Structure 1
């Protein structure tokens, strides 16, 4: 049987190990520094925490676009229904460092010409 300090140490090690993949996924480390712009039609939407995801049809290719958390989307001026299937948007963002992964972290969106800055400090 493990002594209490050993169990606590083991628990801390497990928690730290589990935290690193989450940080890598939800941070910017996976994304390129050079931004790109995509224009397409939303084909699927999942909004919520820890961030929302859109599937965007860009010339027949499905891209996963990470948008903000609900509070960030509201702060950018997005209203319920703005990000819905069938809506055409333009997105400025950071693409995945893995060129085979069609994934973009959105910095700013445009819907009908109106800009919605999700991360104004990155513009």
Structure 2
């Protein structure tokens, strides 16, 4: 094999190794943004918003419920908008109920909302899920 061919092979292998490393590093983030970390059964969590970070890849509310702070994952901006849920409805002091799934680890106070109820109005973020 010529030195030019060896150099090309080394570059291709380096590129493939770089992609493999990037994919491996992204798996924890991918797993978090999916549903694998959440319990199968639906739960409800009611409380008051104490902080909100909205936007991509999804919004996160800090909800104070029963004296504990929970992270409630809401939808991506387009998903919230499609459900009729506007950013100004998810501000500090708003009382809401999240219907969805708790983290499988009971020590983690993380909740993925399928539906949000504010003042008796339901916002269905994931209408395709039961």
**Structure 1-normalised TM-score?**
0.95
> 1:8, 1:39 → 2: CA distance?
49
Q: CA offsets per residue over residues 61-110 of structure 1, 9 Å max, x none?
A: 10100000110000010123100000000110110000000110000000
Q: Find out whether 1:102 has 2:109 as its counterpart.
A: yes
Q: Find out whether 1:118 has 2:125 as its counterpart.
A: yes
Q: What's the counterpart of residue 85 of structure 2?
A: 78
Matches within 5 A, 1:53-68: 53-68=60-75
> 1:120, 1:38 → 2: CA distance?
19
Q: Which runs of 5+ in 2 are unaligned?
A: 1-6
Q: CA offsets per residue over residues 38-83 of structure 1, 9 Å max, x none?
A: 1100000000100000011101110100000110000010123100
Deviation of 1:11 after TM superposition, in Å, equals 1.1
Q: CA RMSD in A?
A: 1.3
User: Which has the greater radius of gyration?
Assistant: 2
Give the number of aligned pairs: 123
Q: What's the counterpart of residue 51 of structure 2?
A: 44
Q: What's the counterpart of residue 3 of structure 1?
A: 10
